[in-house]
């Protein structure tokens, strides 16, 4: 989340997630806690054998969420490594996480395994390869539920087949200014894409960030799904947003400059700041940075977008946990210092 990559002006992150269930076990909704523990044992053994012993995949560390402190669970959710539902639910569940945090496996989420590769910028092909490398390594050590007609079986029948979810988190301030967001959402729906908010399923969009993902998982090969999403849909979305930005800047330059510089001024001067307000202003600054209006590094904005989240902020300064006012004060101080340390010429 805090890094930049190809097409980072529009694409914040790319993610490929594979849903798999271990053969011979009930799905999570019918699995008792002892059964869930057994599933964790099987997956951990597979992770140890495939990743940590054979070195065929990145080395993974194992985090048991049921015994992890609440802050650590929220931290993982803020980094988009686990779903908010997974962070807050009950029962035996774990996360296997690579050192660079690109590869991860949620164990006992809606499915036994959610194998994920997450990276900055538009790198869906890389994420696709890496996710399947990890999946293949695990498949050599354990059997996944599979049906000759339905493919990989998932707890929710709508994910059946390839069990693949490809997502791209896009920053769409241009479309928002040109009032094109609803049209994009409608077009996405027609293409069987889901459009979600900043934290995935059930979350609202904050700061013009939208997550687009495929919904079709059956009746096409994984490569065909990738080609459709990464080769056709994503470039069009990126192109559309870039055109909207250019049009917006041509038509409303003064208004956009006003919004961008006010946000910069806000964040450079605020003494109390909520995470939502910080995210909104950082989003506007991000727009200014990628359009060449504001001489701030995009990586600084990306880092701040992550650091202003409550759990991350409490790592920087634990005083933020003392009260709501302390949380806002610590955030404002941190953002202000981060922005004034770097180039701040706003001409």
Partner 1 sequence: MNCDHCDKPAVVHEIVIKGGVSNEVHLCSEHAIAAGYPLPIEQPIADIFPKLGSVAKVEAAKSKERSAKCAACGLTFTVFRKSATLGCPACYDAFMPMIEKVIESAQDGATHHLGRSPVGGVEIERVQNLRVKLMHDLEVAVAAEHYERAAKLRDELKALDSQTS
Beta carbon nearer to partner 1, 157 or 235 = 157
Beta carbon nearer to partner 1, 61 or 147 = 147
Beta carbon nearer to partner 1, 30 or 341 = 30
Q: Name, in order, each residue with C-beta under 8 angstroms of 197's C-beta and a sequence gap of 6 or more.
A: 203, 204, 205, 206, 209, 210, 211
CB of 271 to partner 1, least distance (A): 32
Cα–Cα separations (whole angstroms), residue 103 to 40, 59, 117:
18, 9, 5
Beta carbon nearer to partner 1, 220 or 265 = 220
Beta carbon nearer to partner 1, 143 or 246 = 143
- For the stretch 33-41, contacts whose Cβ atoms lie closer than 8 Å and that sit 24 or more positions apart, written own/partner, are 33/91, 33/92, 36/91, 36/92, 36/93, 36/108, 37/92, 39/107, 39/108, 39/112, 40/64, 40/92, 40/93, 40/94, 40/107, 40/108
CB of 250 to partner 1, least distance (A): 37
Name the CA radius of gyration of the chain, rounded.
21
CB of 219 to partner 1, least distance (A): 3
CB of 296 to partner 1, least distance (A): 34
- For the stretch 292-296, contacts whose Cβ atoms lie closer than 8 Å and that sit 24 or more positions apart, written own/partner, are 293/256, 293/257, 293/260, 293/261, 294/260, 294/261, 294/264, 294/346, 295/343, 295/345, 296/264, 296/339, 296/342, 296/343, 296/344
CB of 15 to partner 1, least distance (A): 19
Beta carbon nearer to partner 1, 55 or 215 = 215
Of 237, 235, 244, 263, residue with least CA distance to 173: 244
Contact criterion met (CB below 8 Å) for 198 and 207: yes
CB of 32 to partner 1, least distance (A): 12
Say how many C-beta atoms besides its own lie within 10 A of residue 23's C-beta. Answer: 13
Beta carbon nearer to partner 1, 203 or 344 = 203
Binding site for partner 1 (CB under 8 A): 21, 23, 25-30, 85, 110, 139, 143-153, 155-158, 160-162, 164, 192, 194, 201-203, 215-222
Residue with tokens 């802050």: 71
CB of 55 to partner 1, least distance (A): 22
């Amino acid at each position: 989340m805090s890094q930049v990559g190809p097409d980072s002006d529009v694409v914040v992150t790319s993610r490929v997630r594979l849903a798999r269930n271990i053969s011979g076990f009930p799905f999570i909704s019918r699995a008792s806690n002892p059964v869930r523990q057994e599933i964790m044992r099987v997956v951990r053994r597979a992770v140890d054998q495939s990743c940590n012993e054979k070195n065929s995949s990145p080395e993974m560390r194992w985090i048991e969420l049921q015994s992890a402190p609440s802050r650590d669970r929220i931290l993982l959710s803020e980094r988009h490594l686990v779903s908010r539902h997974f962070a807050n639910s009950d029962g035996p569940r774990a996360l296997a996480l690579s050192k660079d945090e690109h590869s991860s496996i949620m164990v006992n989420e809606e499915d036994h395994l959610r194998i994920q590769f997450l990276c900055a910028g538009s790198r869906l092909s890389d994420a696709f390869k890496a996710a399947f490398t990890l999946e293949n390594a695990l498949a050599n050590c354990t059997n996944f539920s599979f049906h000759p007609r339905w493919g990989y079986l998932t707890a929710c029948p709508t994910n059946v087949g390839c069990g693949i979810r490809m997502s791209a988190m896009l920053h769409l301030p241009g479309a928002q200014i040109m009032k094109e967001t609803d049209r994009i959402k409608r077009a996405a729906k027609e293409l069987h894409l889901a459009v979600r908010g900043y934290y995935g399923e059930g979350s609202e969009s904050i700061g013009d960030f939208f997550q687009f993902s495929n919904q079709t998982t059956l009746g096409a090969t994984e490569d065909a799904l990738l080609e459709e999403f990464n080769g056709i849909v994503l470039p069009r979305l990126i192109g559309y947003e870039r055109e909207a930005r250019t049009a917006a800047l041509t038509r409303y330059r003064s208004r956009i400059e006003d919004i961008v510089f006010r946000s910069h001024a806000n964040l450079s001067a605020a003494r109390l700041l909520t995470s939502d307000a910080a995210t909104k202003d950082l989003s506007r600054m991000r727009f200014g940075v990628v359009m060449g209006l504001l001489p701030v590094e995009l990586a600084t904005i990306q880092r701040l977008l992550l650091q202003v989240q409550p759990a991350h902020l409490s790592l920087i300064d634990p005083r933020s946990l003392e009260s709501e006012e302390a949380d806002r004060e610590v955030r404002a101080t941190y953002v202000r210092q981060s922005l004034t340390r770097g180039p701040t010429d706003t001409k």
